[in-house]
Amino acid sequence: MRRGSLAALLLLLLLSGCAEEPLKVGIRSWIGYDVIPMARQWGWIGPEVELIPRESAAESLSGLASGELQAACLTLDEVIRGLDQGLSLTIVAVMNVSSGADSLLVRPGINSVADLRGARIALQTSGANMLMLTAALASGGLALSDIELVEATPADLPGLWEAGDIAAVATYEPHARALRNIGAVTLLSSRDTPELIFDVIAVRSDAVKTRKKALANLVSAILRAQSHVHDNPVDTVYRLASLRGNPVWVTEEELRHVVIPTLDRQHGYFDRDSPLSAAVGRINELFVNAGVTNSPQGNAGLLDPAYLPELPE
């Protein structure tokens, strides 16, 4: 082998050894997040992005804290909890806004939030269910101290309900639908608290500075997939139904309970006085008052629209 060829081979091996690891993104199964695997099916997400399945927000936040993940799909309130725990996170895109996907369900005969005083209410406290519950209680003049929390995974809820152990549940679709099928009644949903429960892409702030190419690919793919939702709704439903392993009608119902943003809405959410900024303030108020978080988390540096393309003229 000639010296030049050997040198070239050594250089190639050196460069391959220094190749940047893919951006690792934690993702859970959720109708608003599933545009990401849909984008991957089309080849819009390159090898610089790796999707890492996660079962819960707690797993995603733990991965962000350890550095195992550089980004994750989270609800806005989960991001605020992460900030309260000392994480430095930046939101680069909105995945969806809950508009009926999150609910407080009760037994027949419970007609108001005030009727829940002293009640046992089941939920998974690490996720957006806690935001739904604290917002609902506050609307009726109650606090977490006025009820008994029962920690439960979504899979636990039907058994607890049928055993008569609980009076109410805070959960999300499709688990809410399963509970309605066995007698639960929706008392309040995120339609009653508009633009409060956001799902977003949250990125470790150090990765925002160092992983620009991968983040640009991820956000571009998300926006293309979200555009497809609006431009080709029928095709979207069938694709998402296949991805989720659900009947088409179930997927149609799930999509009706969320708002998938257009590019115009994406830009609006990152304005200074946007609904997203207002939601940060409202969640801080609810969570600090309820003792869920220790202190308010500011907006400074939290929202970064740098990866959104400019709106067409």
Backbone φ and ψ for 157, nearest 5 degrees, come out as -60, -45
Cα 99 to Cα 199, 252, 270, 280, distances in angstroms: 12, 14, 19, 17
Nearest-CA neighbor of 226 among 188, 206, 197, 255? 255
CB 84 within 8 A of CB 297: yes
Q: What is the pLDDT of residue 22?
A: 96
Model pLDDT for residues 184-217, shown as the tens digit of each residue: 999 999 999 999 999 999 999 999 999 999 999 9
Residue type, 26: G
Domain 102-189, second-level architecture: 3-Layer(aba) Sandwich (3.40)
Domain 21-97+196-307, second-level architecture: 3-Layer(aba) Sandwich (3.40)
- Structure token pair of residue 226: 């979200």
How large is the average pLDDT for residues 294-305? 88
Q: What is the pLDDT of residue 264?
A: 95
Percentage of residues in the chain having pLDDT higher than 70: 94
CB 175 within 8 A of CB 103: no
DSSP-derived secondary structure letter, 121:
E
Strands 23-27 and 71-75: parallel
Q: What is the pLDDT of residue 19?
A: 63
CB 49 within 8 A of CB 25: yes
Q: What is the pLDDT of residue 16?
A: 42
The ranges assigned to domains in the chain are 21-97+196-307, 102-189
Per-residue confidence band for 166, with pLDDT thresholds at 50, 70 and 90: very high
Q: What is the 3-state secondary structure (H, E, C) of 261-285?
A: CCHHHHHHHCCCCCHHHHHHHHHHH
- Judge whether 21-97+196-307 and 102-189 match in fold: yes
CB 251 within 8 A of CB 240: yes
* pLDDT surpasses 80 at 159: yes
